[in-house]
Structure 1
Amino acid sequence: MNKIKLGNKNHLYPNPVILVGVNVNGNPNYLNVSYAGIANRVPSMISISLNKSHYSCNGIKENMTFSINIPSLDMLEITDYCGIVSGADVDKSKLFNTFYGSLKNAPMIEECPINIECKVIHKMDLEGSNMLLIGKVIETYSDEKYLTNGIPDINKVNPILLSIYEFNYYSLGKKVGKAWSIGKNIKVI
């Protein structure tokens, strides 16, 4: 085996690119986040990890809610901008049309194909700079044009992916097989 050690790094590829929405002092703010994932399927929960110094953390502490907004590839430039500037200095709510759902205090972006409003149920201070949040999904929203047979169609959504150590964005590739099906032909003898 000729494996090379890469060190204590999270090479989990690819990372989804999302815009986290929070209300800070009653005003919507959006932050580009790539440390996110599914924490539980039933009941639905999502995890996000944020640097504790982010302005958006004030809104999470204030309301204990957040939204996940999945931008499409055509939103790449504005999505990146939301990770470059702080809501403490720039009113990022002016970049989007904001709407609210069941929670009434988790701002969501109309232009994003998928929006998920979450209530914080667990918050963990991690070693180092970040905090981990587990949000219970309260409701998910989408425009009908992004659905096929009532579920989000990944090709229509056209999400943005991140290679974290390269600092490069990527788009989605082609479908290569049916999950929990393609491997049924393998037999262990």
Structure 2
Amino acid sequence: MKYVNFQELSQDFLNQLVKGAFLTVQQGEYVNTMTIGWGTVGYMWNRPVLMVPVRYSRYTHTLIDNATSFTVSLPVTKDLKKELAFCGSKSGRDLDKIKACGLTLEASQSVGVDAPIIAECELHIECKIVYKQPMGSEHLSNQIVEAQYKNDDYHVLYYGEIMNAYYK
């Protein structure tokens, strides 16, 4: 296990994010992972923060909105393109995506059973939710609204304090 500092994490996260990453959240007995391709890593409130957007229409929104934490697992060198595509196109309302993809959940180190990691990935980021911000068109560029939100399916932005980041 190799722990990474904030600066190392930023570069690796951003390089992989455009290819896809797994956002995993657990609420009670329900666990779901979804593919994300958007997010931001930064420094706010004197702490390292990872922001992930989740659309209201996603099953993950139902879980993360009541959760205290989430994890992001990134397949930096492994080829998990099929699994990322599947988890980005199917809903956890309809099936267990983790089982369907043959992925393995593992307890996270810092946020524990509240948000497991995807064991097949190498880079893991564990976050405690510190802020939520619903989006709307009133403060968003018309160009972005036209390109991304024609059907009014906006995101909620979840800011997680990075509690741990490491390679496995």
Superposition TM-score, scaled by structure 1 size? 0.64
Q: How many residues align?
A: 131
User: 1:136 Cα deviation (Å)?
Assistant: 0.4
Separation of aligned partners in 1, 2:81 and 2:116:
20
Separation of aligned partners in 1, 2:120 and 2:18:
21
Residue aligned with 1:83, SS: helix
Alignment of structure 1 residues 78-157 onto 2, 5 Å:
78-94=83-99, 95-101=102-108, 102-104=110-112, 105-127=114-136, 128=152, 129-143=154-168
User: 1:16 Cα deviation (Å)?
Assistant: 5.1
User: 1:61 Cα deviation (Å)?
Assistant: 1.8
Q: Which residue of structure 1 lines up, in the alignment, with residue 75 of structure 2?
A: 71
User: 1:62 Cα deviation (Å)?
Assistant: 2.1
Gaps of 5+ in 2: 1-14, 137-151
Q: Which residue of structure 2 lines up, in the alignment, with residue 39 of structure 1?
A: 42
Separation of aligned partners in 2, 1:89 and 1:25:
18
Separation of aligned partners in 1, 2:68 and 2:88:
21
Gaps of 5+ in 1: 1-12, 144-189
Amino acid at match of 2:106: F
User: 1:93 Cα deviation (Å)?
Assistant: 2.4
CA contact (8 A) 1:71 1:79 kept: no
Q: Which has the higher contact order (CA 8 A, sep 6+)?
A: 2
Amino acid at match of 1:136: E
